[in-house]
Amino acid sequence: MLVFWKQRLVLLSVPKTGTHAYTQALAPLASMVITDPPELKHAPVYRYNRFFRPMFEKMGADDMDLVAVIREPLSWLGSWYRYRQRDDLVGRPTSTRDVTFDDFVRASCEDAPPPFANVGSQAKFSEARPNGTRISHFFRYEDQAGLRRFLAERLGPLPDIPHVNVSPSTELSLSEEERALARARRSADFDLWESIPIADASR
């Protein structure tokens, strides 16, 4: 998570949406960089609301804009699946090394997913709080140009954004049955992603 105090901007770190690269590149411009523990680095809206908002408001910042990047849900699940195939997880409950992508997607749709498929939900991460704390600006992961234009407008010229923390390349195939299951059981994620417009490149 990156906090830009003067610009009243907070870039939340939705897992598997490329925000690690922005953290590396924009850290010198930020007033606060949260990299540990993971529960705070990847603080969802409800955790931001509980731990960070009260502190910021006490210091006079009750108008912070929250920014979140949301990835197409099947692509997001694919990134999690590839990430958990890495060597250091082999033999652990979170490894997907011996799991097919179909099985991973099916397991992620269970009410209580097993450890290897317990990845949460982008919609749940971004869910507005009853007190009005909410995401001010959503961007699709696939619309990097729009995200960078927005950040440049708020922060000034941006440095190069590196490609880091990229999951191993693995060919993924998904049956129509599991695709339909994901669409039904993760409808909130699909609805959220589809509701986010691509930024106007002509501006």
**DSSP secondary structure letters along 119-145:** ---HHHHTPPPTTS---SEEEETT-HH
- The mean-pLDDT minimum among 86-90, 124-128, 165-169 falls in 165-169
List strand residue ranges (DSSP E) for the chain, in order.
Answer: 2-4, 9-11, 32-33, 65-70, 137-140
Looking at every residue in the chain, the average pLDDT score rounds to 93
Task: Check whether 171 has a pLDDT greater than 80.
Answer: no
Angstrom distance (rounded) from CA 188 to CA 76: 14
* pLDDT tens, position by position, 26-57: 999 999 999 999 999 999 999 999 999 999 99
* Predicted local confidence at residue 201, as pLDDT: 54
Alpha-carbon radius of gyration of the chain:
17
Task: Check whether 68 has a pLDDT greater than 70.
Answer: yes
* pLDDT tens, position by position, 119-158: 999 999 999 999 999 999 999 999 999 999 999 999 999 9
Q: Is pTM beyond 0.75 here? A: yes
